[in-house]
Chains A and B, each alone.
Chain A
Amino acid sequence: MGHHISLLLVVVPLIAAPVVAVLPRGRLPWAVAFIVAALCAVLAGMQLWAVLHEGSISYELGGWAPPWGIEYRIDAVNAFVALIVAAIAAITLPYALLSSEQEIPEEKIPLFYSALLLCLTGLLGITQTGDIFNVFVFLEISSLASYALISLGRQRQAFTAAYQYLIMGTIGATFYLIGVGLIYSQTGSLNMQDLATILPGVLHLKTVETGFAFIMVGIALKLALFPLHLWLPNAYTYAPSVVTVFLAATATKVAVYVMLRILFSVFPQGFALTTPVEELFIVAGIAGIIIASVYAIYQENIKRLLAYSSVAQVGYMALGIGFASATGVTAALVHLFNHALMKGALFMAVGAIIYRIGACRMDQVHGLGRAMPWTFGAIVIGGLSLVGVPGTAGFISKWYLVVAALEQEAWISVAVILCGSLLAVVYVGKLIEALYFKPVSDTGKVVSEAPILLLVPTWGLVLANVYFGLDTDLTVGVAEKAAAILGGMQP
């Protein structure tokens, strides 16, 4: 069974997706989807354990030897990301039951879970594969599924949001594909490992350089790197709560992984330094942190506020990548994990508010914190983690980022990271003030605490935020290993 895990992680949700689609209405589709997601999480955990203890796994699809066949190649980097994706899916699904029953028309529920599983398939596939064309295929699977998922939102704007994402996402995917094509034309290979040995000989070719540029821009669109983030706020705001939770915690993370993989292990170490890409990452990161955070402060819709905050958080990861040092990449990977935890928790808590009052505008949630103390508590702790208060996961990310910046004496970046935390204080504070200190708006409706089925997953993630702020063996330990694998950088 051992090394079949890698394939099962993709095949199980892929096969389950059409099955779920034809299941009768009711709670059966949910149950199947939940079992599949939980299974994936277990498999991903086993895979990471295997990789950490027995070294990289190579799986040849259909027995075709690489570089001709497709190879799944798993090391600490992608096993880590796969675990994040699968674990978030497994935590999101219990939450999905009630939330989606309320937000999604009953007849579409089986299709909804089917699309969710397809999206999971795509995201897991991206992490598993060792073939850059295969990445594109899975990218499209996950993207198409997520366009459908976003369009299921209750408000009519969900359609425009999905359409906008469709256009931008397709441009991104196309750019990526063009880049892959250009590189294939010069190397004749699509296998990442194979490319890593061929590319050093052909780097001087303009075609390869152009291909590299196309790929970078394409993925940057997918990970919503400022200023290519325009699709993200609308998509997150108008998607159903569950979809927002899932996408915010996984989709951009996987794109960051692809970026790291292409930048540091497909292309030879040091190549990026000969191009302006590192500087661009730093500039885009800085601009993203500051500008998106300021935007977040002025948002009236809580989901949109958090969405802009996500754009800012992607900026932190971009900074980490831009430093191109072991500490920098470690910081980016740690933040990738921690940000999944904090945004997952926060979007879940906001989803609980939407479940109760059907809205999430600042002026509609006044005083709700008193009526929903557990939900409010989740927002407070999630918010503190976002700010980076010590004792939360967010602090660990910030710590590594600043240490990475200090290593390079990048004082502007240091200032920007700390400044970003302060801006987070402002927007989180604004949210908390609205929820707790504003007088309750007099609608005559009595709001009660969210149902336990929404609270348990939310608090699961909230406690994870605290746990991974205190015990970093898993996060930092794996991230450091992963950073070492990505191009064997000096610590």
Chain B
Amino acid sequence: MSAETLLLTLLLLPLVGAAGIIITRHNPDVREGVTLLSAALVAILVVVLAARFMDGEVFALTLIEPLPGIAIAFEIEALGMLFALVAGLLWVVTSVYSVGYMRGHNEQNQTRFFTAFAVSIAATMGIAFSANLFTLFLFYELLTLATYPLVTHAGTPEAKRGGRVYLGILLGTSIGLFLLGILVTWSLTGRVDFQAGGILSGHIDPAWAGLLYALFLFGIGKAAVMPFHRWLPAAMVAPTPVSALLHAVAVVKAGVFTLLKVTIYIFGGEFILSNDVTGGLIWIAAATILIASLVAMTKDNLKARLAYSTVSQLSYIALGAMLASKAGLIGASMHIAMHAFAKITLFFAAGAILVASHKKRVSELNGLGRAMPVTFVAFFIGTLSIIGLPPFGGMWSKWYLGLGAVETAQLLLLAVLMISSLLNIIYLLPIPIRAFFSKPESGEHYTEIAEAPKSMLLAMVITSSACVILFFYPDPFYRLAGLAAGGY
């Protein structure tokens, strides 16, 4: 297959899948078959693409040019490849999980669910391979809209309220600030394409560059930097597979990915470092890391706690981006992958607990570990990877982020990272400990609760093993991250 065809196929495949899901809606087994098939094909294609990309093949494709100089164009570079690889591989795992979850939990409107899910993946791929800010913005908005029916899936007043916050913040920031940032970039430079080394250097007064960066930092609401993080906890009303893939991987990572793209390819690391563009803004990310961790400690609802943990972890990436040094950027890029595998495991486990025992609160989990050992072992592994302990993948990204802080002599930021790791221990580790070592409220061990359906367990086992494997073989992600960070 030619390079362009391969790229286009990867973009269209989830959409074809979505159409197939609608067509086969009357036969749930076939419908789920379509989901699994398209997800598996996407996973294979994305791996093939990554292999060919690393062999040095160049992929670029311009679809259409609505305005002169502003095209819908795709191109593969290292960072986008990394993001696509993570999203593509995890979609198939999540699909396996979703089938078990949606059936085990007797959810309504499953056709709408799987269709919107596939469209969201298409949008994610579009974001990953965008060759310019315009294309990226197009798919960024599409992703917001495609995930809205997933957030409001339950149709309850709470879900609708959550949906309103979700749409309000994401569309509000993107139209009010992100689009403005793009337009300012366009009016300054006359271009919006991603360019190694950035395009702004020489076109903007360094004094104003910080302000423009702030437009992007806050405008990219999906990165959930405070004070625009509220949509993420609000989105937790969605079914758990959505929280797992979209609100721990695709959507939030699309946010920080966009921020990294803007940092590396619009501003350029060199430009940021030499003009201290992000000197003040970086503390907002640091504050988000700490505050979100503190808030997470107060949450008894398991998914809410995980959501705030995600907010905190996302700002690791934002912080790495704003460090703008090579190690910082490598750490940030790798954290996209490492955090994805760990956090999706935690959400999978949370969903399994919900399906098997109908429990949502941390305080209700005492003694559940014996009834659901696989689930809680997976949870435990995910926790350790998030904390950043060896032998789990999460260690590498934290390592490079710390290195970045040292490299730029920001020792206070290093302290923030350390404190945050301690806070992670405090709010995450008690969960598996409670489950294994505390007695249930009633004093009796659970006998009527068993593990969740097999497909859900399989998904958890895969992602938690990945956390371990990524410690020993971080190579593909490391190489991609290195290529991206070396791009200036």
Q: Spell out A's residues near B (CB within 8 Å).
A: 384, 387-391, 396, 399, 402-403, 406-407, 414, 418-419, 421-422, 425, 429, 433, 437, 469-472, 476
Contacts and interface: CB of A to CB of B under 8 A. Distances in A.
B399 to A, nearest CB: 38
Given A389-B141, A390-B141, A429-B164, A469 B66 contact: yes
Given A396-B67, A403-B186, A391 B142 contact: yes
Given A399-B183, A469-B66, A470-B72, A418 B175 contact: yes
Q: Secondary structure at chain A's binding surface: helix, strand, loop or mixed? A: helix
B184 A406 contact: yes
A396 B70 CA distance: 11
B155 to A, nearest CB: 7
Given A390-B134, A470-B64, A422 B167 contact: no
Interface in B111-154: 134, 137-138, 141-142, 145, 152
B179 A476 contact: no
A361 to B, nearest CB: 20
Contacts of A389: 141, 145
B187 A407 contact: yes
Contacts of B426: none
Contact of A421 (B66, B70, B175, B184): B175
B175 A396 contact: no
A425 B186 contact: no
Interface in B152-183: 152, 155, 160, 163-164, 167-168, 171-172, 175-176, 179-180, 183
A422 B172 contact: yes
A183 B40 CA distance: 74
Interface string B57-87: 0000000101100101000000000000000
Given A384-B145, A391-B142, A437-B152, A403 B183 contact: yes
A406 B64 CA distance: 25
Contacts of B70: 399
A405 to B, nearest CB: 9
Given A399-B183, A437-B155, A470-B72, A388 B64 contact: no
B231 to A, nearest CB: 14
A227 B179 CA distance: 29
A437 to B, nearest CB: 6
Given A399-B183, A422-B172, A429-B167, A390 B137 contact: yes
A481 to B, nearest CB: 14
B179 A418 contact: yes
B134 A419 contact: no
B138 A391 contact: yes
Contact of B180 (A390, A418, A471): A418
Contact of B160 (A391, A406, A433, A476): A433
B180 A422 contact: no
Given A403-B187, A471-B64, A476-B67, A425 B138 contact: no
A402 B183 contact: yes
Contacts of A391: 138, 142
Given A389-B145, A425-B167, A429-B167, 16 more contacts: A389-B141, A390-B134, A402-B179, A402-B183, A406-B183, A406-B187, A407-B187, A414-B183, A418-B180, A422-B172, A422-B175, A425-B175, A429-B164, A470-B64, A471-B66, A472-B66
Nearest to B152: A437
A425 B145 contact: no
Contacts of B167: 425, 429
Of the listed residues A384, A396, A407, A422, the one surrounded by the most CB atoms of chain B closer than 10 A to its CB is A422
A419 B179 CA distance: 12
A406 B185 CA distance: 11
A414 B180 contact: yes
A307 B187 CA distance: 33
Contacts of A390: 134, 137-138, 141
Given A437-B152, A470-B64, A470-B72, A422 B171 contact: yes
A472 B172 CA distance: 26
A407 B184 CA distance: 10
Contacts of A406: 183-184, 187
Contact of B176 (A396, A407, A418, A476): A418
Nearest to A430: B164
A418 B175 CA distance: 6
Contacts of B152: 437
A382 to B, nearest CB: 14
Nearest to B186: A403
Contacts of B141: 389-390
